[in-house]
């Protein structure tokens, strides 16, 4: 019988831990969280109370962010309707590109969350805060396992530090809090394995590490951070004991990181002129990024959603000061490591965890800025934990029970908590977020463009919106999205169609692979009557992104204008709806086309009803449904109800008043109401020839209404001359002459 081979990790004695020197001092200064002399049960109760207090403090600090609405790209992370089924969950795991980034565990969490609380932002925010608080508790447990002074202070600093607000208050950044929780849990379990050498602990830590990678691949830096911690504890690394167990982690982490880099380039769009950097420029960026985050962690003021986009110039001597300064600090800590390895260990963890965002790899947000607060979520521990320990050691010198030991940390935590409270408030909604960003970074073209798009949808705010589009283009003339936004504004402005086309063409020139640019240019061509050019643009958009529901729907709109292409248009609408089942506009447009096809009115009605189900406030679908129902015997009351709903949503629409008047005119007891609707339509649009004519037809039937009927008929004739209408007017005039005046 073959001898059974069992994989064993060598058991080691408990390692000696160096905090201030290579050897433990015989008498160690007490830390802020020591409870010497306490019974185990009392200590356990104290710890549970402290964890609860930490959770409550975190929730209170983030209260201003818990309500409001989704901001910026939250809609791309909160599960889309086409992914909310079990098949959608399968796509999340096995179809790269189905979600904005391939983080399957993260998007599975979003999938589960949406099935529980839907689109309510409170649930997402509470989970983010809970994950962050749990991560802070893990920081405490790791620091205590490493016998670091000030473990509770370190966890509290992590919980309420204002630089971490972006990672916690922004729903999209659940990737940071979720991956951070698994990252720290994996580290804690691995440290237990390092002491016990139990294989079960190793495999548990490996599983947690895999979960972290599937949430956000910046966690691939964990094995390197663990090696730094092990070196700090022992002063050296042994291959068999320290390095070999982490080799599989390095391999898995590197593979995940390379795959994410590929996704960023090919699916997210981290390519082009914004990412064309020389090796020297990337070194300059890296040095400045390290200095920037270190400064913000130490002095967290003027934090903002979008920081200025640095101009990286290898010809400017002062830009070399940043990498030189970072290198000088590293060398100084290396020299100090002969006496105290702590500062160098913290620096290595800080800089090493930042490596994926130092500029050596392309990440999409570099288009707007080379730095963002959420990039430093885990890296912050390399500064916060050593700093908290240093403060704890310093406070311990005042002696146990001294009030200074409590007052100084309390003041620091209170100050950070207030700053966190204020910073969390800017994430309540888009407008608040982008206004706060512009206040601190006036040249943030991303913020100007997004704020402009928000204001453009508000009646009476279009001039302000255009001003923000112009500010975005002044800050960055090559920002194609701002040209797109300006084109959208001009397209809605009477007489500015040529200007809109020019803006869209600029956007296409700057971003030839942008599907939206081609789609919007196609829409402008369609508005200008240049149908074939519009179709060409929609087809380009679909070659770039075959699953684009907007491009397919717009192509269908264009095909309806070409004789004999109605079946092709219907096919395109149906393809658009397969790609995006909740596309209310496509349902409405398909219904409008089906209503023109003999025998397909029931299908048209079903499409209008689906559009209304998706968007109950979609006035156009209500109006179209009313028109469809008015053509079916016995459905006139339902048609009138739909018209009335459309007018409650948009009372300023002349055509809807006309349509409602037409429906009411078919009910003998509602003729006065029909006349009133025609009058309202003409108040809104005096050039509506149909309203003038239909009103005239009703007035003829009303006692004493003939004179007004003649005036309305003449107005209709002026607006829409026709032989038939001319005959009606002449006969009405002749009839009026035969009528003798009343005494």
pLDDT at 159 over 80: yes
Confidence tier at 275 by pLDDT (50, 70, 90) = confident
Counting Cα atoms < 13 Å in the Cβ hemisphere of 222 gives 34
**pLDDT greater at residue 725 or residue 561:** 561
Query: How far is it, in rounded angstroms, from Cα 70 to Cα 68?
Result: 7
Query: In this predicted model, what pLDDT tens digit does every residue of 589-624 receive, in sequence order?
Result: 999 999 989 999 999 999 999 999 999 999 899 999
Whether 437 and 448 have beta carbons less than 8 Å apart is answered as: no
Asked if the domains at 582-648 and 668-743 fall in one CATH topology, the answer is yes
CATH superfamily name and code, 668-743 = Tetratricopeptide repeat domain (1.25.40.10)
Query: In this predicted model, what pLDDT tens digit does every residue of 94-104 receive, in sequence order?
Result: 998 888 889 99
Query: How far is it, in rounded angstroms, from Cα 67 to Cα 122?
Result: 6
Domain ranges of the chain: 40-78+119-425, 582-648, 668-743
Q: Does domain 582-648 have CATH number 1.25.40.10?
A: yes
pLDDT at 13: 41
> What own/partner pairs with CB < 8 Å and gap ≥ 24 does 671-676 have?
671/698, 671/701, 671/702, 674/698, 675/699, 675/702
Query: In this predicted model, what pLDDT tens digit does every residue of 377-386 receive, in sequence order?
Result: 999 999 999 9
Query: In this predicted model, what pLDDT tens digit does every residue of 127-157 receive, in sequence order?
Result: 999 999 999 999 999 999 999 999 999 999 9
- Distances from the Cα of 146 to the Cα of 154, 229, 274, 389, angstroms: 13, 9, 43, 11
Task: Locate the DSSP E strands across 505-610.
Answer: none
Helix (H) or strand (E) holding 392: helix 381-396
pLDDT at 171 over 70: yes
- Distances from the Cα of 26 to the Cα of 18, 23, 29, 101, angstroms: 12, 9, 10, 52
Query: In this predicted model, what pLDDT tens digit does every residue of 668-682 receive, in sequence order?
Result: 888 888 888 888 888
pLDDT at 27 over 70: no
Query: How far is it, in rounded angstroms, from Cα 688 to Cα 185?
Result: 69
Chain-centroid distance of CA 621 in Å reads 28
Task: Calculate mean pLDDT across residues 319-327.
Answer: 96
Q: Per mean pLDDT, which of 71-80, 566-575, 653-662 is the most reliable?
A: 566-575
Confidence tier at 36 by pLDDT (50, 70, 90) = very low
Query: How far is it, in rounded angstroms, from Cα 377 to Cα 367?
Result: 20
Whether 650 and 659 have beta carbons less than 8 Å apart is answered as: no
Number of other residues whose CB lies within 10 A of the CB of residue 96? 16
Mean residue pLDDT of the chain comes to: 88
Share of the chain above pLDDT 90, in %: 66
Helix (H) or strand (E) holding 557: helix 549-559
Question: Which pTM was predicted?
Answer: 0.82
pLDDT at 494 over 90: no
**pLDDT greater at residue 395 or residue 34:** 395
SS3 track for 220-254: HHHHHHHHHHHHHHHCCCCHHHHHHHHHHHHHHHH
Confidence tier at 737 by pLDDT (50, 70, 90) = low
Report the first-to-last Cα separation within the chain, whole angstroms: 129
Confidence tier at 720 by pLDDT (50, 70, 90) = confident
pLDDT at 67 over 60: yes
Helix (H) or strand (E) holding 622: helix 619-629
pLDDT at 20 over 90: no
Confidence tier at 6 by pLDDT (50, 70, 90) = very low
Task: Calculate mean pLDDT across residues 279-292.
Answer: 96
């Amino acid at each position: 019988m073959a001898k059974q081979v069992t994989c064993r990790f060598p058991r080691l004695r408990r390692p000696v831990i160096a905090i201030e020197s290579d050897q433990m001092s015989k008498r160690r200064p007490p830390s802020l969280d020591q409870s010497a002399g306490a019974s185990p049960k009392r200590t356990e109760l104290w710890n549970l109370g402290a964890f609860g207090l930490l959770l409550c403090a975190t929730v209170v600090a983030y209260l201003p962010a818990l309500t409001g609405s989704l901001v910026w790209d939250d809609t791309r992370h909160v599960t889309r309707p086409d992914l909310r089924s079990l098949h959608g969950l399968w796509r999340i795991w096995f179809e790269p590109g189905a979600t904005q980034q391939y983080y399957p565990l993260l998007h599975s969490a979003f999938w589960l969350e949406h099935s529980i609380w839907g689109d309510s932002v409170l649930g997402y925010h509470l989970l983010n805060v809970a994950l962050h608080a749990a991560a802070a508790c893990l920081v405490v447990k790791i620091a205590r396992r490493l016998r670091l002074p000030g473990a509770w202070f370190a966890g509290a600093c992590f919980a309420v530090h204002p630089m971490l607000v972006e990672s916690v208050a922004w729903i999209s950044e659940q990737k940071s809090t979720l991956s951070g929780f698994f990252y720290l849990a994996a580290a804690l379990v691995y440290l237990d394995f390092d002491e016990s050498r139990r294989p079960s602990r190793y495999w548990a830590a490996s599983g947690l590490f895999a979960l972290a990678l599937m949430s956000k691949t910046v966690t691939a830096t964990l094995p390197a951070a663990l090696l730094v911690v092990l070196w700090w504890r022992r002063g050296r690394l042994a291959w068999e004991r320290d390095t070999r167990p982490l080799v599989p982690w390095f391999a898995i982490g590197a593979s995940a990181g390379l795959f994410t880099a590929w996704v960023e380039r090919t699916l997210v769009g981290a390519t082009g002129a914004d990412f064309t950097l020389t090796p020297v420029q990337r070194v300059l960026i890296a040095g400045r990024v390290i200095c920037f985050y270190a400064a913000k962690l130490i002095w967290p003021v003027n934090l903002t959603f979008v920081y200025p986009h640095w101009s990286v110039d290898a010809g400017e001597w002062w830009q070399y000061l940043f990498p030189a300064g970072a290198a000088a600090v590293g060398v100084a800590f290396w020299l100090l490591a002969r006496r105290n390895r702590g500062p160098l260990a913290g620096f290595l963890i800080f800089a090493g965890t930042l490596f994926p965002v130092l500029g050596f790899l392309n990440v999409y947000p570099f288009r707007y800025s080379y730095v963002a607060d959420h990039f430093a979520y885990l890296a912050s521990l390399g500064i916060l934990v050593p700093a908290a320990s240093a403060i704890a050691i310093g406070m311990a010198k005042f002696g146990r029970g001294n009030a200074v030991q409590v007052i100084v940390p309390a003041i620091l935590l209170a100050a950070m908590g207030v700053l966190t409270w204020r910073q969390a408030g800017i994430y309540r909604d888009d407008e608040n977020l982008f206004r706060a960003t512009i206040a601190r970074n006036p040249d943030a073209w991303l913020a100007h463009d997004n704020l402009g798009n928000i204001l453009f949808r508000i009646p009476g705010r279009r001039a302000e919106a255009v001003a923000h589009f112009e500010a975005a283009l002044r800050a960055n003339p090559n920002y194609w999205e701002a040209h797109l936004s300006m084109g959208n504004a001009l397209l809605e402005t009477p007489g500015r169609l040529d200007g809109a086309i020019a803006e869209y063409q600029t956007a296409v020139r700057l971003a030839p692979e942008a599907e939206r640019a081609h789609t919007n240019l196609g829409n402008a061509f369609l508005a200008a009557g240049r149908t074939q050019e519009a179709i060409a643009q929609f087809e380009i958009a679909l070659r770039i992104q075959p699953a684009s529901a907007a491009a397919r729907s717009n192509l269908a709109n264009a095909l309806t204008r070409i004789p004999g292409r109605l079946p092709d248009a219907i096919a395109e609408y149906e393809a658009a709806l397969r790609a995006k089942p909740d596309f209310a506009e496509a349902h409405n447009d398909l219904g409008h086309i089906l209503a023109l096809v003999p025998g397909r009115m029931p299908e048209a009605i079903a499409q209008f009803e689906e559009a209304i189900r998706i968007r109950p406030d979609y006035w156009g679908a209500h109006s179209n449904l009313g028109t469809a129902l008015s053509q079916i015997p016995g459905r006139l009351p339902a048609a009138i109800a739909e018209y009335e709903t459309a007018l409650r949503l948009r009372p300023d629409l002349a055509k809807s008043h006309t349509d409602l008047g037409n429906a009411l005119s078919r009910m003998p007891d509602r003729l006065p109401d029909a006349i009133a609707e025609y009058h309202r339509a003409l108040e809104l649009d005096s050039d509506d020839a149909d309203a003038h004519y239909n009103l005239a037809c009703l007035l003829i039937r009303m006692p004493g209404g003939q004179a007004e009927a003649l005036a309305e008929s003449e107005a209709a004739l002026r607006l829409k001359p026709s032989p038939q209408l001319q005959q009606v007017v002449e006969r009405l005039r002749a009839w009026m002459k035969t009528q003798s005046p009343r005494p």
